[in-house]
Structure 1
Amino acid sequence: MLLIHPIGVGLSSRFWDRFIRCWQASDDTTTLLAPDLLGCGVHEHPNQQLAPEDWAAPLVDLLRDQTNTPTVLVSQGASLPIALAVAKSAPELVAGLVAISPPSWRILEEPFPQTQSQWIWRLLFQGPIGFWFYRYARRRAFLKSFSVNNLFANNKDVDDEWLDTLEQEAANMSTRWATFSFLAGFWRRNWISQWQKINQPVWLLFGQEATGIGRSKQWDDAQERIQTYAQQMPTAVSASIHGRNVLPYESTSECVSQLQRWLLHPSNPSNNHSISH
């Protein structure tokens, strides 16, 4: 499996550390690839805009070098378009697609004006405002507040391991370019046609307390999101577990067990829209 981590302040392949430990405790035969995306972790990138195709290209190269056989892509949150870009570039290397905490259907359907993305990039992120914003955003107090308000269902799950990792990974200021590319919206376009035409098996995992990131009356709630995906992608298998927006970290064992179950029976209708407590 290829694990595609989310993009944000301090986020890197280490997002999957807890998931990998839990997975390998019950299955030491599956190969788990968890690379740093371009501009994240140890994979530095200069001051340059990044789109899903830019993040996908090195992943395709990795798959060709490491396995050159069909692989299950596992995306977290808004890294889903990166998985879709990999599937479009090298469909022969994709055996299935897993979307954990996928974005709301509205986000995937409504393109973000590229002129606005360019404006945000040039005026906010390329200058001193962006530099000082990133220094502020990588402070432990901010990381904890953001995680509590936007990512985790239970405040107690925002632990030292999570915060220490984010602080360490955000220490390198060059990682801000990947984060800024994401925040500027270069990944935002209409992905629906490609998403609905995926030929490989698709598995969706939702948090029962899932929310949008930030504050907006336009965000859908968890049940609305689940129902929308069921209507729009009737052939996909889905499940929901306790948690909010970072299920591989906050609800690790449930996330692992549900995914392992699906991998054993990827086309079993009885798994569709199941609820695990």
Structure 2
Amino acid sequence: MTSADHQKEPTLLLIHPIGVGLSSRFWDRFIQRWHRKSPNTELLAPDLIGCGNAPYSTAPLSPNDWAQPLVTLLKQRNAGPVVLVTQGSSLPIALALMQQAPESVSGLVAISPPGWRVLQEPFPIERSQRLWRWLFQGPIGNIFYRYARRRSFLQSFSKKNLFADADAVDEEWLETLRQGSRAMETRWAVYSFLAGFWRRDWEPQLTQLSLPLLVVFGRSATGIGRSRNWDDVDQRLATYRQKLPAAAIETIPGRNVLPYESTEACVQCVSAWLKDHRELRSSGVEHAPTGHR
């Protein structure tokens, strides 16, 4: 690839998932592999509110709350639209961002998105508020987070729900989660997610997207929690293809954390899609390689 080709590559804004110990560090392997291939691509990987080094909030957080600092980042950057890359249930954060600043986005990549029923089925706000007030805000919430950040729990949960290969739950993964969950204040972002404040009917916004869209599933993808019994990977693929006929929908090896477990295949998949969509490429603006935190 020529230097001119590199200059035309779009900037990617990587939106990490919300979970115990998760932050922008989730994208470390993806960023490293991408820059070995395309060192001049600008990759933005900010910490979401309540995660990593970002400010904390003790109030419940919604996708709009998480999206707002990302909108500010893009407007301050003032260097043209970016391609959003989401992992798992961070997809609604990208949709909220596009609602707030549609001019800042040129495309969307949804890696391991939730099953369609999860995205479509609203969660009663009154139930979220009760969970927050009576469970997560009180002593039980404090005790549960201390339990959930234990190495044994993180290892077991990852093997049962996130990785196709149990041996891929390595020391790097567990140590990253341990460091990311050391601050008890990180529990508020996790509890905002668990209480369901991100849940609403996202189908209208998702199906009405006119931007280029790539959806990537692991061939061993499963739901998590109650959604495990709602659909298998074949049903999920069929539903997404029916609901999003204009989208590119691909599968690669792995389960639910593809940028980490199947980094090479994930980078290749996203990169190939970008090459097929020249209109996503920046208009000659050169960006220095970076992995912003």
Instruction: Normalising by structure 1, report the TM-score.
Output: 0.95
| Partner of residue 248, structure 1 | 259
Is contact 1:211-1:219 (8 Å) kept? Answer: no
Which residue of structure 1 aligns with residue 52 of structure 2?
41
- The question of 1:141 aligning with 2:125 is answered no
Deviations 1:112-141 (CA, angstroms, capped at 9, x unpaired): 011100010001000110001001100100
Tell me the equivalent position of 1:194. Answer: 205
Matched length: 268
What amino acid maps onto 1:125 in structure 2? F
CA distance in 1, matches of 2:196, 2:20: 15
Moved over 6 A (4+): none
Instruction: Please point out which of 13, 24, 41 is paired with 1:2.
Output: 13
* Aligned-pair CA distance for 1:198: 1.1
Question: Alignment identity in percent?
Answer: 59
SS in 2 for 1:32: strand
Which residue does 1:227 correspond to in 2?
238
* CA distance in 2 between partners of 1:52 and 1:68 (Å): 24
Q: CA deviation at 1:30?
A: 1.1
Contact 2:57 2:189 in 1 (8 A): no
The amino acid of 1:69's aligned partner reads G
Q: Deviations over 1:23-77 (max 9, x none)?
A: 0000011100000000101113131000000000000011111244110000000
Equivalent of 2:178 in 138, 143, 167: 167
Alignment partner of 2:43: what SS? Answer: coil
Q: Which runs of 5+ in 1 are unaligned?
A: 268-277
Give the match for residue 14 of structure 1.
25
**8 Å Cα contact 1:41/1:169 also seen in 2:** yes
Residues 88 and 113 of structure 2 are in contact (CA less than 8 Å); yes or no, is this contact kept in structure 1?
A: yes
* Cα distance between partner residues in 2 of 1:199 and 1:135: 43
Q: Distance in 1 between matches of 2:160 and 2:202?
A: 27
Aligned partner (choices 84, 87, 91) of residue 76 of structure 1 = 87
Specify which of 57, 72, 80 is matched with residue 61 of structure 1. 72
Contact 1:44 1:175 in 2 (8 A): no
Partners of 1:169 and 1:66 lie apart in 2 by 27
In structure 2, the residue matched to 1:271 is: none
- Counterpart amino acid of 1:105? W
Q: Which has the higher contact order (CA 8 A, sep 6+)?
A: 2
